[in-house]
Structure 1
């Protein structure tokens, strides 16, 4: 994909007419009550300042995104548990069927011995009216006895394996139930933070909210363009054709809404945009920003090339795609749509080349 040195900035117009908070809160495995925003200063009658609201909303969104990435990881784990549990349950059913078959064979032998009066098979052969065939039949008897003993051993071993599979299945089911419980709890916690943010935003009024959104978009544009009216993505080419395809997919989604847990094609969270874009290039990434941080080769920020993943913050809870010229394309947070952003707008944790 040819990268123009200077290009118009898509999505640079006001990114939303009103700040939309998504109720599709997809949540985390751990959001503590201690991370909630501080109380507004002053008495309840004092109107909060725009600066206070903006700072607290940004903090709530950051907590929500941290939680969302942990939730994405938990959800991925839950899906894996469901698959493993289903496989184990299938193995248990097959093992039980085979065990029943082997037990049926032993029951048939036992019934035959009972009908013969309980006489040992060797005695029956010795009393038979065909002494000439005795030796041949004795050899057959040894073979039958050996097969019976082998069947018994197999029954014992299969029972042991079946018990082990059942224990594994029970443990997986318990883990699955715990994962479901945690997801439900943390979804509620994320929604609480979104509600808190919405309450703060509502305190400003619709006009002021729209101004704040527009200002946020303008500031992001100024950071990305370094105060000019055009975007300079430089001339460094992508690291590969696949990276070029992934970047083209990400850029095509500029203007798309941010929704926690979304992976496209119309809405995204930060790691969901990376997941979607690289899927268009034929590569399946891990679902979370933390896992994506280890999905490829680490390179320095100075050596970053278009299509590389840029991981942000110490706990790696945010990710964008390097577009060139010190600019990334990313899904920021609720209310702000997919857009270009200066790579220096957030602390960089690492750069990953796929």
Structure 2
């Protein structure tokens, strides 16, 4: 998301930015009082170099935020699936208890008659492994009808499979939580370094990052064309209404957003469920050329699809630009465009 934060004059190329990113630690240290390792003795870091490093740190923070969003979404899905599995286990155990209760009634009747078949006692064993290993004996014993026996065996096996699934999901949930925590630390590290570096910029340069929406705080700019559908129109109205709300990494509204969270929330107001991350959102519809873009289309940026905004017409998008800024309008070509998606 670096390009849309630059002053009006052209900024460094993508390859130059990659070079800066690879030296982010050295540059940040230089801006805080130490010169980069390859600098001449007594050299100082220029505001332009500092801005480039801040841009790179914000880019890295946004990429880490997308990974955080993806891991969080995965953890949420796993929690929901685990809850459903546990409900299924409870129902399966209840069904098995009923089946075993029926067998117990049969055993009681035999006992009252003065004898209980040893094979039926085996079936009522509380050890499922013992039961499954020796169930064939019961079939041959003829104590129960074959259909009754199959029901008990199927219920026992289904319950064992559900428990195995729950164990697998629980392990994966633990791994997903670890990923969430790791990506969260990465985001916070990048943002902390960027904030420290911003403090070293002259006031005029720092204002580039603090500026308000390009709408100027006045009325909303007119749409350049009509949305292609009613749901796109509803999403556009929601996104326009979000202008001025803060960028909050990992948030998808309604009081704060990251870039993909804003798109997801805006389309949710139109009754459309978008995926959580910008990488997934680029495939949430039909890809079209930028020349055919209309309000409501998603504009995905950079080769890594790490940023997304919503086209509003008149060459503008609404997007959540970067931490510390607010949802605002910016030119659609603020950075390299990866694709345009019509939902």
Q: Check whether TM > 0.5.
A: yes
Q: In structure 2, do the counterparts of structure 1 residues 270 and 119 end up closer, same or farther at CA, with 3 Å as the change threshold?
A: closer
Alignment: residue pair count = 288
CA positional deviation for 1:38: 3.8
Q: Which of 235, 242, 253 is equivalent to 1:246?
A: 235
Matched, 1:44 2:34: yes
Q: Give the aligned partner of residue 174 of structure 1.
A: 171
Matched, 1:275 2:264: yes
Residues 61-100 of structure 1 correspond to what in structure 2 (within 5 A)?
61-100=58-97
Q: Deviations over 1:161-220 (max 9, x none)?
A: 11111111100010001101111122112111111112212334xxx35x3343357799
CA positional deviation for 1:62: 0.5
Q: Deviations over 1:24-43 (max 9, x none)?
A: xxxxxxxxxx9672412597
**8 Å Cα contact 1:233/1:326 also seen in 2:** no
Q: 5+ residue gaps in structure 1?
A: 1-33, 121-144
**8 Å Cα contact 1:35/1:63 also seen in 2:** no
Q: Deviations over 1:233-290 (max 9, x none)?
A: 6743211222222112212222221110122222211111111222222222222111
Q: In structure 2, do the counterparts of structure 1 residues 191 and 232 end up closer, same or farther at CA, with 3 Å as the change threshold?
A: closer
SS at match of 2:152: helix
Q: CA RMSD in A?
A: 2.9
CA positional deviation for 1:49: 2.8
Normalising to structure 2: TM-score of the pair? Answer: 0.76
CA positional deviation for 1:50: 1.9
CA positional deviation for 1:325: 2.1
Q: Which of 308, 322, 325 is equivalent to 1:319?
A: 308
Matched, 1:306 2:295: yes
Q: Give the aligned partner of residue 146 of structure 2.
A: 149
CA distance in 2, matches of 1:323, 1:172: 42
Larger radius of gyration: 1
SS at match of 2:24: coil
CA positional deviation for 1:119: 8.3
**8 Å Cα contact 1:331/1:337 also seen in 2:** yes
Q: Give the aligned partner of residue 56 of structure 1.
A: 53
CA distance in 1, matches of 2:273, 2:313: 23
Matched, 1:260 2:249: yes
Matched, 1:342 2:339: no
Q: Give the aligned partner of residue 290 of structure 1.
A: 279
CA positional deviation for 1:311: 0.8
Q: In structure 2, do the counterparts of structure 1 residues 347 and 152 end up closer, same or farther at CA, with 3 Å as the change threshold?
A: same
Q: In structure 2, do the counterparts of structure 1 residues 53 and 186 end up closer, same or farther at CA, with 3 Å as the change threshold?
A: same
Q: 5+ residue gaps in structure 2?
A: 1-20, 36-42, 118-141
Residues 99-138 of structure 1 correspond to what in structure 2 (within 5 A)?
99-118=96-115
**8 Å Cα contact 2:212/2:328 also seen in 1:** no
User: RCO higher in 1 or 2 (8 Å CA, sep ≥ 6)?
Assistant: 1
